[in-house]
Amino acid sequence: MSVNSVRLGPEIEQRLNELAIRQQRSKSDLIRQALGEYFERQAREASRWPEAVPAPRVSQAA
């Protein structure tokens, strides 16, 4: 497992700390779960519009 760094604003850091204490889980565990859920949502959204109407091509007038 790799190690990554992320900068959090004070409000998010405080909320993360409080949640970690309340759930007796590590901050890393909560962040991994949140990212996993985010990626799943993004994949579901992408699958809803797999071949949406393509953007029109803009021709370059000479």
- Tens digits of per-residue pLDDT, 5-55? 999 999 999 999 999 999 999 999 999 999 999 999 988 888 877 666 666
pLDDT of residue 41: 92
Answer whether residue 57 is part of any domain: no
pLDDT class of 1 with cuts at 50, 70, 90: confident
Answer whether residue 24 is part of any domain: yes
pLDDT(60) > 80: no
Answer whether residue 39 is part of any domain: yes
> What is the pTM (predicted TM-score) of this model?
0.72
Which domain covers residue 20, as residue numbers?
A: 10-48
Neighbours of 19 (CB within 10 A): 13
Answer whether residue 36 is part of any domain: yes
Query: Following DSSP, what letter does each residue of the chain receive, concatenated?
Result: ---------HHHHHHHHHHHHHHT--HHHHHHHHHHHHHHHHHHHHHHSTTPPPPPPPP---
Answer whether residue 2 is part of any domain: no
Give the number of domains in the chain.
Answer: 1
Answer whether residue 59 is part of any domain: no
Answer whether residue 4 is part of any domain: no
Which has the closest alpha carbon to 31: 55, 13, 49? 13
